Chains A and B, each alone.
Chain A
Amino acid sequence: MSTSPSLLINTANKRYQTDKFAYCAKICAISLIGILCAILFALFIHSNEALRVLGAQFFTSNVWDPPGEQFGVLAAVYGTLVTAAIAMVIAGFFSITIAFYINAIAPAWLYKPLRITFDMMAGIPSIIFGMWGLFVFAPIMANTIQPMLQNTLGALPLFNILFAGAPLGIGILTASIILALMLIPFMTSMLTDVFSAIPMAIKEAAFATGATLWEVFHAIILPYSRSAIAGSMMLGLGRAMGETMAVTFVIGNAHKISSSLFAPGTTISSTIANEFADAAGTLYPSALMALGLVLFVITMATIFLARWILKSYTKERL
């Protein structure tokens, strides 16, 4: 099944150096790199004005005042990072346990239906999650979950700040949960692949010594796939940060940084989605482009890191 280039194919490749078809294929391949560079370049050109006029203030201020032509990214960056991080932690816990269940605990006949279910769920468009979040989940949050959290954990030191304020239903926490819900199928599929790639012999050896499921998970599977899990979670984080529609419905779109997770906030992508079409003048659209540039750089850095971790994992294991 390997594609290790045989001697014959290499010779044939040399003979057809002038092959026009190969030339076309190469141009298409290079165009992929071109698109990536073009995105960076176009965002940079169009955000030039905002960066020039606002300068460093753009990165250090959290004031977002379109009529007064004051723009600062901090509130949006804060919202993006916090929602994505909370979503990643929730989704990480759920997808690791679910993937382990699918792989090791579930009866054989359940394996396939569960895999197909989660693979299909991963394809549901984010706007559906957003609508469901606004119309079904937000009222549940406001009426049940948020008061419950305030009454139980809300008395503890740190939590009385995090869970302060009126239970509105929409806000940072709701957006994080909706994001986590979107990430769970995606990360579960990925982690199920990771767990099933672990050699059976290692697991069997552990079971043969009398290890329980928890011990096998804790002492064999976790150390073995640590970097793959980290890589998958980083991929999830990258996806969560760039997610637009699911967040736009439930975040509340308020340009402020609040210590409470119940308070409405905003993310980079939801700010762009909400405001770009109505942005008048030249500085306002340019500031939104600059916001896009920030998002692009953050997500690409995350994905870069994720791929690097995953690559070192596969290199280690093969």
Chain B
Amino acid sequence: MTNLRSFKNILFISACVLSLIIALCFMISIFTTLITKGGGAINWQLFFASTPSPGGQGGLANAIVGSLVITTLAILLATPIAILTAVYLVEYGQKRRLARIVQFANDLLLSVPSIIVGLFIFAIVISRVGHYSAYSGALALAIIALPIITRNTEDMLQLVPVQLREAGIALGVPRWRITLMILSRAARPGIITGILLAIARVMGETAPLLFTALSNQFWSLNLNQPMANLPMVIFQYALSPYQSWQQLAWAGALIITCFILITSFISHYFLQARKHS
């Protein structure tokens, strides 16, 4: 009996260890592929030249700048709405019915497939305007960033002690000033964490850009025109038959992964700071 028990136990523990090892092996394989295939293609030209014509030599400068522009725009659009929503949920809505519905809508929005967001923006913007544009891409990414920032800000505001609010009220400070002057400072690490997480998520999204920002082979900063961006360039170049394009795709994949890992590492650092304080 004891033997059977310990046998089952050992079987279970080895299953646990084995699944961890298998999962880690896959992850390591992804990273080594990225580093070997992408690392070989990294050079100075990558950051200063635009994407090449088929089979030609070039870089990813326009795609990197385009990604940064679209992401920044998306975050700038989403952050104020997200923070105000979180303020409403925690400070004003409290346990009211509307607040609960908004919370649920936020949960759902968090899991809307990103390609659906792309279709949505196509339906309401592109099909009317008639051409692809960088700002519609930013709009699509903003819808994806919105629930992420809202959730993190909300969680952070929940952690701010009630006494801080009461102290403000006791001094006769209006609630909007309490929110802006006191709560925003207390919740700052959480808000920044949320924004960083949103940047990390949005930066690698390809599906919403397929029918909105599209891509552009040339250098362009016109928000009303298609703009090159890393995920789309990676997608197009990876599936192309040209050796030089495939190499650029791997280099782009390495750049974007590094950027995202660094961003999420910093956001974890902020999370740590929050837990200690």
Contact = CB atoms under 8 A, between A and B. Distances in A.
Interface of A: 1-6, 8-9, 12-13, 16, 19-22, 24-26, 28-33, 35-36, 38-39, 42-43, 45-46, 93-94, 97-98, 100-101, 105, 114, 116-117, 119-121, 123-129, 131-132, 134-136, 181, 184, 188, 212-215, 217, 235, 238-239, 241-245, 249, 269, 272-273, 276-277, 288-289, 292, 295-296, 299-300, 303-304, 307
Interface residues of B, number: 101
B108 A124 contact: no
Given A32-B147, A296-B113, A134 B108 contact: no
Given A124-B204, A212-B6, A13 B175 contact: yes
B264 A39 contact: no
Contacts of A101: 16-17, 19-20
Provide the main secondary structure of the chain A interface.
Answer: helix
Contacts of A20: 176
Interface in B72-130: 80-81, 84-85, 87-95, 98-99, 101-102, 104-109, 111-117, 119-120, 122-124, 127
Contacts, number: 267
A244 B203 CA distance: 15
Given A25-B91, A28-B84, A94 B22 contact: yes
A35 B204 CA distance: 22
Contacts of B81: 28, 31
Contacts of A30: 98, 102
B111 A235 contact: yes
Contacts of A5: 94-95, 162
Contact of B162 (A6, A129, A184, A299): A6
Contacts of A184: 23
A253 to B, nearest CB: 11
Given A128-B253, A276-B211, A29 B99 contact: yes
A13 B253 CA distance: 50
A116 to B, nearest CB: 6
